[in-house]
Structure 1
Amino acid sequence: MSIKRSLLSVPFRFSNMAFIFFLLIGMNAFAADPEVSDSEEAIKAGESLFNANCKTCHKLDQKFTGPALRGVSDRRDIAWIKAFVKNSQKVIQGGDETAVELFEEFNNTVMPSHAFLSDEDIMNLLSYIEYGGQEEAAAAPAAGGEGAVAQSGVPSEYLTIILAVLVVVLLLILIVLGLIISVLTKYLNQQPLEEEDKEFISQKTDFKKVLKSDAFVIIITAIVIALVAKTAIDGLFSVGVQQGYAPTQPIAFSHKLHAGDQEIPCQYCHTGVEIGRSANIPSPNICMNCHMHIQNVGGKEGVSPEIAKIYEAVDNNQPIEWVRVHNLPDLAYFNHSQHVKVGEVECQTCHGPIEEMEVVRQHSALTMGWCIDCHRQTDIAAAGNAYYDKLVQLHSNSEDALKVKDIGGLECAKCHY
């Protein structure tokens, strides 16, 4: 009998059917994608990788610069995901229809390659994408995505209408009270009253006498003198104070877009904020870390006029001449790392809602009194910080929380050389 005999010529038996059935199951098992782990360890590791590599362009449950990621392991094969994450352009250039559609849907935005990520790293990323970030998932409907529900609270336009209605109601009440007084006055005048009562009812206010009275003149004079004095004092105290200063910059950089919408951490651009006295103004090279990928694939041709200024600065090896906004006097010493790294002070504490500013302005007064008030009121973030252990121990007998003023925050030499 020939070994090359066709399988079709073999009599069909139940054993043959069972063998083929189990063979197919075995092949399917070998071909199946690895399972995405829901372990806490994998989710935590994936969160770190997501924050370091993906957060700038992606959200889990909302479209952002890139697509929403949750559920990607159900929509795509794991092998496809690994290939796309490691080198998306290679997959796109290979003609993969799904990759090409994604590329075109998001305005030909190039995702940087992540060849340095291992398969295990990508599986941990998928663990976080599928099972982590539940707070974002809960917040997504409120942001207006699919399944969005009506937000609680009264819209601002309705509040304006309510206030207007209240004002009208108050005016109507005053008019009604005036009519009631008028009717009562007429009614009482028709009653048999004594002369004193009639004079009291019919008396009218003589505004001329009120305006000419000594008391009225003294009160008005005192108010005018107080207002003039306050204006003069406020003017003296505002000398050298640039609160609200918002100069025009050489490039129209929007903190609202970058720090707000794109959620880029302040420390990414201001590299010295945790390690030195100055926060550092970013160089054009830091700008190009992102803009060489997301603005235009082919280079500087076709970019916006503002982005073109960055290309020009890089090509000419010239710094961008940013206009300084926050400027302390030379006699005052301020260290960013001491406040941000050690004191764990948020950037917004001094700079205000910087993530909402299209044009940066000086939010705080930055005066000596402003700093001292902060040192008097701010609690020391001593939990888990060995730097403060001995100071906390020395302060243990006090019922009040350990504040900056308790560790020398009001000493002259702290801020003045």
Structure 2
Amino acid sequence: MKKVPYRHSISKVLGVSLIVFLLFSVSIFAQDGGSAEGASAEVADSGDSSGDPAKGKALFNQNCAACHSLTRKMTGPALANVESRLSDDEGLDREWLYNWIKNSPGLIASGDAYANKVYSEYNQAAMTPFPTLSNEDIDNILAYTAAPPKTAAPAAAAAGEASGSGSGSSGDGVSNELVLGALALVFALLVVMLFLVNKTLRRIAEANGVDLSQEESAKRLPLWKAFAKNQFLVLVTVVFLLLGSAYFAYGWMMQVGVDQGYAPVQPIHYSHRIHAGDNKIECKYCHSSARVSKTSGIPSLNVCMNCHKSIYQVADETLEEGKREYGIDYNKEIKKLYAAVGWDEENQKYTGESQPVKWVRIHNLPDFAYFNHSQHVSVAGIECQQCHGPVEEMEVMYQYSPLTMGWCVNCHRETDIKVEGNAYYEKIHAELSKKYGVDKLTAAQMGGLECGKCHY
């Protein structure tokens, strides 16, 4: 029997391909496992075993955030790693912290040296005592202060990129470059295999006396002629182009009037990140009409002056961060506020020479759509962030949600009505619950999809 020359070559290529693929698979799984082990070890090593950082964060925000930050000095000192710092620098243990947090005036009166040092440093204003906090609560707070700050991970990632690591990673910890390299190698091997198969088949044809060059020259046509003669291919291409054009045209037209992501430059820069985020100012302190009115309202400049009569400049750390990260000089923006409201900073009085501020509206519904803030904020108890996004993280305010009809309708379909403590809904809720056979009603089941609710 005549030996078939192409089998040996193809077998070699297939064997090499299989070996290379297996090697890449092993390396990928090994790296994935190592990453998982490293992550597990990191989780095991982080945090304080004697407290729950998640519970501590909630307690910190409720009791401590008004006067303390983790990373910067405010009314009180920064509290990041406070326990380890006091232990290393002052030789104080956790028991001292229990006494200080629960009864700081008593500890000061007892003559404790470090308590009196803090008392003198911070304008002889004793810290508010928290006798209701248990030792477990304080353990949780200390565990939270010992945990890495939120910004540590992004900062580390940025540092890694800057150092030239150049290795992105996919969600499971596998390097993107490694995956792409493996796919590129597999593709190259396939190309080599096809080339060898084609070469081997040509040798077989020539050995059997077939002249491929003449047949190919006789049958070969220009590409466009071959395409034009293939009516099926032409039809499929035309249909594909028509469908693609219709898809993109529809997508473009559906974006008309949708301003998601709109972030205009305002005449006076206002950082929601600093006010609502760092300083924990309640949204409705400035937008007070959201509780009782259709609109949330634009805060009067007098609301700003409630604080900025005394706050005429920001801390050096915040000022440097603003210039470095956002190109903003916060102190200059405060001067713009003083000029607009007519405040004489030197003499500490109003001049009466005010200037209008031409704020640029960001969230704007069509005139034919009715929306009432008070109905959603006061009655439904919806948080501002549900529609406006993480405002406390926005340096420049932008439109977070699309504010389209479909977006509103989906929310009405998914949101349960808040009926607890609202006598108005009791009878309606009981009747509709029987009708739909449910325990909780959505806004849609309460008539939230009726056209007249928003259009009349």
Same fold (TM > 0.5): yes
Alignment-derived partner of residue 271 in structure 1: 288
AA at the equivalent of 1:140: T
Q: Give the Å deviation of 1:403.
A: 0.9
Q: Secondary structure at the match of 2:241?
A: helix
Alignment-derived partner of residue 237 in structure 2: 220
Contact 2:100 2:107 in 1 (8 A): no
Alignment-derived partner of residue 411 in structure 1: 450
Alignment-derived partner of residue 313 in structure 1: 340
AA at the equivalent of 1:409: G
Out of 34, 54, 65, the residue aligned to residue 55 of structure 1 is 65
Distance 1:67 1:415 in 2: 50
Contact 1:295 1:303 in 2 (8 A): no
Whichever of the two has the greater Rg, that structure is: 1
Distance 1:210 1:227 in 2: 24
Contact 2:268 2:336 in 1 (8 A): yes
Distance 1:81 1:142, change over 3 A: same
Of 305-314 and 370-379, more deviation after overlay is shown by 370-379
Per-residue CA deviation, residues 349-393 of structure 1 (Å, 9 max, x unaligned), is 221222222221222222333322322232223345444332331
Q: Secondary structure at the match of 2:266?
A: coil
Distance 1:277 1:192, change over 3 A: closer
Out of 115, 120, 123, the residue aligned to residue 129 of structure 2 is 123
Per-residue CA deviation, residues 60-118 of structure 1 (Å, 9 max, x unaligned), is x6645342468385399516879xxxxxxxxxxxxx96456457xxxxxxx9x9xxxxx
Q: Give the Å deviation of 1:277.
A: 1.6
Of 250-259 and 222-231, more deviation after overlay is shown by 222-231
Q: Is 2:247 the counterpart of 1:230?
A: yes
Out of 281, 285, 288, the residue aligned to residue 305 of structure 2 is 288
Per-residue CA deviation, residues 120-170 of structure 1 (Å, 9 max, x unaligned), is x9434x54497647665444344349xx999999x9954168112211110
Of 333-342 and 323-332, more deviation after overlay is shown by 323-332
Per-residue CA deviation, residues 29-65 of structure 1 (Å, 9 max, x unaligned), is xxxxxxxxxxxxxxxxxx79x859x634424x66453
Out of 344, 363, 371, the residue aligned to residue 334 of structure 1 is 371
Distance 2:220 2:432 in 1: 66
Q: Is 2:180 the counterpart of 1:167?
A: yes
Distance 1:361 1:403 in 2: 29
Gaps of 5+ in 2: 1-58, 83-96, 110-115, 162-166, 315-328, 343-352
Contact 1:142 1:151 in 2 (8 A): no
Alignment-derived partner of residue 322 in structure 2: none
Alignment-derived partner of residue 402 in structure 2: 365
Distance 1:376 1:308, change over 3 A: same
Q: Secondary structure at the match of 1:396?
A: helix
Contact 2:263 2:399 in 1 (8 A): yes
AA at the equivalent of 2:453: K
Q: Give the Å deviation of 1:325.
A: 1.0
Q: Give the Å deviation of 1:271.
A: 1.0
Q: Give the Å deviation of 1:210.
A: 6.1
Distance 1:385 1:206 in 2: 80
Contact 1:56 1:263 in 2 (8 A): yes
Alignment-derived partner of residue 28 in structure 2: none
Distance 2:226 2:385 in 1: 52
Distance 1:412 1:265 in 2: 33
Contact 1:241 1:367 in 2 (8 A): yes
Gaps of 5+ in 1: 1-46, 83-95, 104-110, 114-118
Contact 2:301 2:341 in 1 (8 A): yes
Per-residue CA deviation, residues 259-312 of structure 1 (Å, 9 max, x unaligned), is 233332212211122222221222222223333344449xxxx98110112222
Distance 1:123 1:219 in 2: 77
Corresponding pairs, count: 332
Distance 2:339 2:282 in 1: 25
Alignment-derived partner of residue 380 in structure 2: 343
Contact 2:108 2:119 in 1 (8 A): no
* CA root-mean-square deviation: 4.6
Identity %: 38
Distance 1:314 1:373 in 2: 43
AA at the equivalent of 1:224: L
Q: Secondary structure at the match of 2:397?
A: coil
Q: Give the Å deviation of 1:240.
A: 3.1
Q: Give the Å deviation of 1:185.
A: 4.6
Distance 1:238 1:149 in 2: 35
